[in-house]
Structures are given as C-alpha cells and as structure tokens.
Amino acid sequence: MYSYALLEKNCYYLVKEKEDDAITLVKVNFETDQCVHVSRFDETTVLEWRQKNDPIFDILELLDDDKVKEWELVYKDNSDTYNYEEDDD
C-alpha cells in the first residue's frame, strides 16, 4: 500500500485510492510537514487536503509533460461542453 507522502509536488499521477475505486488523476500542488494539497480531476476539479499518511491502493503512473499537455487539451475541451446557458423559452 502506498501513501500521499510518495507523491511529488507539481506532478500528475493516475491513482486508485481503494482497490474498487475508479482511476483518478491527481496533482500535488504543495505540501506541509504533515499534509499535501492536491487537485483531483473529474468532471470538475476538486481541491483538497490529504494527510501524507492517507493510503493509496495503487499509484498506476506518473504522467510525463507530453501526456499532461495531451490530457489538458482533452480536459479543457470537455469542460467547455458544460459551460452553456439554457434559454428560458
């Protein structure tokens, strides 16, 4: 079993927190002595604090810069899909 203490600042990881969880993309934004602040990317971006000793079932992959750029293009395109206004007609 892994923990958030293994994740490096400013890096993107594909992780599974629990064995039956879906794969999640996370980025470590900054850290303190006991905690890390992470961005969790799903349909929206969730910012949250995690204790360094919080368990991670599996760290599947560290994304390199090229993969992050590819993902950002897809994520930004998908986020625009939901940013529309409905008419009241």
Give the pLDDT of residue 42. 83
Percent residues over pLDDT 90 in the chain: 74
- If you average pLDDT over residues 8-36, what whole number do you get? 96
Q: What are 43's two structure tokens?
A: 């349909």
More confident residue, 45 or 89: 45
Q: pLDDT tens across 40-69, in order?
A: 998 789 999 999 999 999 999 999 999 999
Quickly list DSSP for the chain. Answer: -EEGGGSPBT-EEEEESSTTSPPEEEEEEEE-SSEEEEEEESSSEEEEEEETT-EESEEEEEPPHHHHHHHHHHHHHHHHHT-------
